[in-house]
Structure 1
Amino acid sequence: MSANDHDSEVTATEMVITCRTAGCPHDGVPFTARMYPRPNPPVWAAVCAVCDQMVPDIVPAP
Structure 2
Amino acid sequence: MSEPTPTLMIVTCRTAGCPNADESFTVRMYPNVEEPVWAAMCAGCDQMVQDIVPATPSA
TM-score normalized with structure 1 length: 0.84
Q: Deviations over 1:23-54 (max 9, x none)?
A: 00111000000000000000000000010000
Q: Which has the higher Rg, Structure 1 or Structure 2?
A: 1
Unaligned runs of 5+ in 2: none
Q: Which runs of 4+ in 1 moved over 2 A?
A: none
Q: Identity over aligned residues, as a percent?
A: 64
TM-score normalized with structure 2 length: 0.88
Which residue of structure 2 lines up, in the alignment, with residue 30 of structure 1? Answer: 24
Give the structure with the larger helix fraction: 1
Which residue of structure 2 lines up, in the alignment, with residue 16 of structure 1? Answer: 10
CA RMSD of aligned residues (A): 1.1
Q: Deviations over 1:3-27 (max 9, x none)?
A: xx5xx36210000000010000111
Aligned residues: 56
